[in-house]
């Protein structure tokens, strides 16, 4: 079970994007809980404004420290209350584990680049808090106090942290046991083992005069596995040769990869 809390000015955007399909189903099943918390609910003036001009001048508005801080405190208090309730009947050792500080992830192009490995690591956490900035960013002082990890989803600039948070929540959630229909499927996909996925085919057998590769109709599982593995190696060598250094390949697979790389250079 994992609890994800997303601090945002656009809760409908986040919940709309995550409430469907696989992630939505995991939420319905109770394997995953995702709540978007509206930072505006913690505004402290009567106009409910959460942004102001930057000191020193410059373009745009900044999100102010206090509403973000109050929002964070409310989430942390909720987490602590739930933990206290749960730990009333568990032993001390477990209690000390559950009292460690919840990670607060701030979506920022200045952060460490998100990766499959990071998704796997974060999927081990019981609670995660995401902080989505908007406008030109957030007052530095509250970031210093609450953020534990600065994370970027790639070298491009978006208008806010909501899409990055949704990307991360999706990638992390599918690594939580029980979210995918079977536990095997997460292991075999792109980037697991640092190889890209092999091509897949479904009915009909012939479509636009293209036949499904004969071997997939043979029913010979060992040969099919071998073919798929080769296809993964070929695709990786052609499209993402940078991944091959980290992949564990047999001598034959290494040779296959090298022969593809030379084709690529021509
Ligand atoms: N906010 C704006 N752009 C971003 C990016 N590329 N990654 C994470 N957060 C962002």
- For residue 152 and ligand 1, the question of a CB distance below 6 A is answered with yes
Range of the domain at 77: 2-173
Average pLDDT estimate for 26-47: 95
Query: For ligand 1, is residue 154 a contact (CB within 6 Å)?
Result: yes
Task: Please tell me the predicted confidence (pLDDT) of residue 226.
Answer: 96
Domain CATH number, residue 224: 1.10.1270.20
- Cβ(109) – ligand 1 distance below 6 Å: yes
Ligand 1 probe mutation, 158, 159, 163, 171, most atoms within 8 A of CB:
158
Do 77 and 134 belong to one domain?
A: yes
16 lines ligand 1 (CB under 6 A): no
pLDDT for residue 193: 85
CA–CA dist 128, 136 (Å, integer): 24
Domain shared by 100 and 229, yes or no? no
Report the separation in Å between the CA atom of 211 and the middle of ligand 1, taken as the mean of its atom positions. 42
Alpha carbon of 252 to ligand 1 centroid (Å):
41
Residue 19's CATH number: 3.40.1280.10
Whether the CB of 157 sits within 6 Å of ligand 1: yes
With a 6 A CB cut-off, is 137 part of the ligand 1 pocket? no
pTM for the predicted model, two decimal places: 0.91
What is d(CA 246, CA 31) in angstroms, rounded to the nearest whole number? 32
pLDDT in tens, 163-182: 999 999 999 999 999 999 76
CA of 160 relative to ligand 1 center, distance in Å: 7
Statement to judge: residues 149 and 220 lie in one domain = no
Asked if 158 and 198 sit in the same domain, the reply is no
Tell whether the model's pLDDT for residue 266 goes beyond 80: no
Among 144, 173, 202, residue at a domain's last position: 173
Question: Model confidence at 100, in pLDDT bands (50, 70, 90)?
Answer: confident
Residue pLDDT, tens place only, 105-141: 999 999 999 999 999 999 999 999 999 998 789 999 9
Q: Which atom of ligand 1 is nearest to the CA of 156?
A: 6
Query: What is the pLDDT of the chain when averaged over all its residues?
Result: 92
**What's the 81 CA to ligand 1 centre distance in angstroms?**
32
Residues 117 and 207 in one domain: no
Task: Give domain status of residue 181, yes or no.
Answer: no
* End residue of a domain, out of 121, 144, 173: 173
Q: Is residue 222 part of a domain?
A: yes
Cis peptide before 204 (omega within 30 of 0): yes
Count of residues making up the chain? 266
Domain count for the chain: 2
Residue 40 in this model has a pLDDT that exceeds 70? yes
**How far apart are the C-alpha atoms of 5 and 7, rounded to whole Å?**
7
- Convert the pLDDT of each residue in 182-224 to its tens digit: 655 555 555 668 999 999 999 999 999 999 999 999 999 999 9
Q: Is 241 close to ligand 1, i.e. is its CB under 6 Å away?
A: no
Distance in Å, CA 227 to ligand 1 centroid: 39
pLDDT at residue 233 in the model? 97
Q: Tell me what pLDDT residue 183 has.
A: 55
Residue 233: φ, ψ to 5°: -65, -45
């Amino acid at each position: 079970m994992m609890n994800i809390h997303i601090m945002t000015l656009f809760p409908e955007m986040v919940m709309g994007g995550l409430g469907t399909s696989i992630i939505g189903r995991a939420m319905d099943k109770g394997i995953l809980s995702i709540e978007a918390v509206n930072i505006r609910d913690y505004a402290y003036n009567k106009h409910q404004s959460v942004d102001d001009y930057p000191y020193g001048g410059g373009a745009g508005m900044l999100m102010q420290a206090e509403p973000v801080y109050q929002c964070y405190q409310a989430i942390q208090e909720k987490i602590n209350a739930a933990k206290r309730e749960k730990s009333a009947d568990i032993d001390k050792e477990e209690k000390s584990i559950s009292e460690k500080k919840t990670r607060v992830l701030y979506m920022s192009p200045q952060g460490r680049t998100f990766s499959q490995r990071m998704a796997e690591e974060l999927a081990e956490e019981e609670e995660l808090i995401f902080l989505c900035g908007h406008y030109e960013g957030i007052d530095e002082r509250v970031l210093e106090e609450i953020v534990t990890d600065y994370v970027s989803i790639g070298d491009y600039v978006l208008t806010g942290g909501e899409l990055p948070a949704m990307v991360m929540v999706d990638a992390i959630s599918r690594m939580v046991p029980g979210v995918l229909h079977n536990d095997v499927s997460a292991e075999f996909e792109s980037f697991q083992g640092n190889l890209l996925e092999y091509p897949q085919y479904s009915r009909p057998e012939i479509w636009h005069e293209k036949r499904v590769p004969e071997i997939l109709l043979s029913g010979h599982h060992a040969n099919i596995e071998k073919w798929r593995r080769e296809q993964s190696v070929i695709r990786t060598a052609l499209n993402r040769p940078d991944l091959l250094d980290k992949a564990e390949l047999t001598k034959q697979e290494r040779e296959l990869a090298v022969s593809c790389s030379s084709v690529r250079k021509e």
